[in-house]
């Protein structure tokens, strides 16, 4: 390409001269408004690209933070499997001469504003704790004259709705000179702690066909279910009309032996039970077989007469009842279920061997292989010591440390 002389002339001009030429394009400092040959045609569309930075900002939709719902049950640590986040209180211990607590239950027959906890001590004692865990708590023990028979080794208790409760006793020895070693069974008592003395004078009734009884559950009126260790059965006892304090006539009683040979007794371990009155299903901590079992109390039919009959009562077997395994606790690492309670639509169970407490769904006809939640209590109750459990009206969990002779309460921390 060749350059003209005029072009060479312009290139040779100094920078200052070029600047002067530019200034000459203004008149008295005002810009030259004449249309240049190179000015864009106003009729043509403006194709100048828009400045992206001048665009309105895109509004982002508001994102709601994900709410993480704890898995599990708060009273069992919300899936943490640990009691570390719970408050643990000692309600009763050996400072009150408690020695071998085996079961506990709240008395429903009290006035509003009063709480009353009964604790069965296998050392022929029943402890009555009024307003436990409060500054007004009062502890009394009951072991009256004749308790070595009428309340010998009480290891389980259950309240009814007739102003009564019943106890079961782990006994297979002679408790009276006039009766044999297998002459043992449940005793009926007044629920009024002012009338109850734990001995002959206040007992309302007694029936005799279940030595080594380690569990009891209320059915209706004065009828109860007993975990009969001697016969490896679940035995139904109906005292019907009690004979009154200190009486002896037991002839109106009804004793019916169910599922004989199908449950397992473990010496020194309570096997708690509870009836779901809505369904007629009896939930059983079958300690000797390492399972939670369910007995359909609406199934089966009357069988043969059973003996011995020490009371002159009606006694017979019950055949072909539906009795199935709800949970094989051995598959979950437990071996000896002991405490059992129905609470908030769940089945809560303690395992003596591992010191764990589990929660399962209620029976739906199929075995359960996973708990709703569970908690390892071995940091506060050594393995082999964990016993029965129950809940108070506030939903707090009470457990027994059998060998440590303690009643413990676990609760959620109170928010400040």
Q: Is the pLDDT of residue 70 over 70?
A: no
Q: Does residue 18 register a pLDDT over 60?
A: no
Residue 18 lies in a domain: no
Q: Is residue 56 part of a domain?
A: no
Reported as half-sphere exposure (CB side, CA atoms, 13 A), residue 12 has a value of 7
- Residue 36 inside a domain? The answer is no
Q: Is residue 32 part of a domain?
A: no
What is the pLDDT at residue 143?
95
Q: State yes or no: pLDDT of 347 exceeds 50.
A: yes
Pairing of strands 386-391, 346-351: unpaired
61 domain residue, yes or no? no
- Identify the pLDDT of residue 100: 97
Query: What is the mean pLDDT of the segment spanning 342-349?
Result: 98
Report yes or no on 255 lying in a domain.
yes
The answer to whether 402 and 100 have CB atoms below 8 angstroms apart is yes
pLDDT at 221: 97
Residue 389 within a domain? yes
Distance CA 268, CA 343 (A): 25
Domain membership of residue 332 (yes or no) is: yes
Tally of structural domains, the chain: 1
State the average pLDDT over residues 348-357: 98
Which whole number is the average pLDDT over 81-99? 97
Instruction: Give the CA distances from residue 88 to residues 215, 390, 397, in Å, rounded to whole numbers and listed in that order.
Output: 26, 15, 10
Enclosing domain of residue 165? 74-411
pLDDT (tens digit per residue) in 232-289: 999 999 999 999 999 988 899 999 999 999 999 999 999 999 999 999 999 999 999 9
CATH number of residue 372's parent domain: 2.120.10.30
> Cα(316)–Cα(306) distance, rounded to whole angstroms?
5
């Amino acid at each position: 390409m060749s350059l003209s002389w005029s072009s060479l002339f312009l290139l040779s001009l100094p920078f200052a001269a070029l600047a002067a030429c530019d200034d000459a394009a203004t008149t008295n400092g005002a810009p030259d408004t004449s249309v240049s040959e190179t000015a864009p045609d106003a009729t043509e569309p403006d194709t100048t690209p828009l400045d992206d930075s001048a665009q309105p900002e895109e509004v982002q939709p508001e994102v709601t933070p994900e709410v993480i719902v704890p898995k599990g049950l708060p009273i069992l640590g919300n899936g943490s499997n640990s009691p570390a986040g719970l408050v643990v209180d000692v309600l009763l211990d050996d400072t009150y001469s408690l020695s071998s607590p085996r079961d506990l239950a709240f008395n429903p027959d009290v006035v509003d504003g009063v709480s009353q906890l009964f604790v069965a001590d296998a050392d022929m004692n029943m402890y009555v704790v009024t307003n436990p865990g409060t500054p007004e708590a009062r502890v009394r023990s009951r072991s009256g004259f004749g308790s070595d028979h009428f309340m010998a080794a009480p290891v389980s208790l259950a309240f009814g709705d007739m102003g009564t409760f019943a106890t079961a006793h782990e006994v297979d020895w002679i408790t009276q000179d006039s009766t044999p070693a297998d002459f043992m069974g449940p005793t009926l008592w007044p629920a009024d702690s002012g009338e109850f003395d734990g001995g002959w004078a206040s007992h309302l009734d007694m029936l005799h066909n279940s030595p080594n009884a380690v569990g009891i559950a209320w059915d209706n009126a004065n009828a109860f279910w007993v975990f009969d260790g001697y016969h490896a059965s679940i035995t139904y006892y109906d005292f019907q009309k009690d004979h009154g304090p200190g009486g002896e006539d037991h002839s109106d009683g009804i004793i019916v032996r169910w599922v004989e040979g199908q449950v397992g007794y473990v010496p020194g371990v309570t096997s708690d039970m509870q009836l779901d009155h809505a369904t007629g299903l009896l939930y059983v901590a079958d300690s000797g077989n390492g399972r939670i079992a369910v007995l359909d109390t609406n199934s089966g039919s009357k069988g043969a007469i059973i003996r011995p009959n020490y009371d002159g009562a009606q006694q017979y077997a019950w055949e072909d009842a539906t009795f199935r395994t709800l949970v094989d606790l051995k598959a979950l690492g437990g071996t000896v279920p002991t405490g059992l309670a129905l609470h908030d639509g769940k089945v809560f169970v303690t395992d003596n061997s591992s010191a764990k407490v589990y929660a399962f769904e209620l029976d739906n006809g199929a075995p359960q292989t996973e708990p709703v939640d569970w908690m390892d209590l071995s940091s506060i109750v050594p393995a082999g010591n964990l016993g029965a459990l129950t809940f108070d009206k506030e939903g707090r969990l009470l457990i027994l440390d059998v060998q440590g002779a303690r009643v413990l309460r676990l609760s959620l921390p109170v928010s400040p």
